Amino acid sequence: MKKLILILGLLLPLSVLAQPFYIDWHKVSGGGGVSTGGAFSLSGTIGQHDASTPMTNSSYVLTGGFWALYTVQTPGAPKLSITLSNGQAKVYWPSPSIGYSLQSTTNILTPNWITPPQTVTDTGVIKYILVNPPAGNNFYRLVYP
């Protein structure tokens, strides 16, 4: 009888471990980073909110997807960067940057570089424009005429 109780006692934990297990939902999450080499810089983020319809609640809206704004670093030009600022993207570079002007295009493969319509603000430390989230891609660069 003691052997039977001992065997049942040893088998009981095995039955607990044999419970079905499944993951019905998952997401890759993480942060972002910058990688540089020579005159090139690559900035990226993973684990953003799912690229789907916006999540809304009361007066807040969270729109998913991936960054659609990119900088193209021109060799010898001041460093051009993009950050989020109060729901808008801030495209910025150091000030003073005498002689440099900002250009944008929506297609990097067949670029038609134009001056963005936003007004450039100069704080004395940085120059910047604020951009609303675009429907497609926008690429930015600094050029010296």
The answer to whether 138 and 70 have CB atoms below 8 angstroms apart is yes
Q: CA–CA separation, 94 vs 82, rounded Å? A: 12
Residue 126's domain spans which residues? 32-46+57-143
Decide if 18 is inside a domain.
Answer: no
- Judge whether 41 lies within some domain: yes
Within a domain: 24 = no
**0.95 cut: is pTM over it?**
no
Please count the structural domains in the chain. Answer: 1
* Within-domain flag for 39: yes
Residue 70 falls inside a structural domain: yes
Q: By the 8 A CB rule, do 102 and 140 touch?
A: yes
Q: Does some domain include residue 15?
A: no
CA 53, distance to chain mean position in Å, is 17
Q: How many CA atoms lie within 13 A of 123 on its CB side?
A: 8
Could you read off the pLDDT tens digit of each residue along the chain, which spans 145 residues?
666 565 655 555 555 555 566 666 655 555 566 677 777 766 665 554 455 566 677 666 655 555 577 788 888 899 999 888 787 889 999 998 999 999 999 888 888 999 999 999 999 999 999 998 776 788 899 999 8
Where b means 16+ CB within 10 Å and e means fewer, 72-95 reads: bbeeebbebbbeeeeeebbbbbeb
Residue 44 CA to its chain's centroid (Å): 6
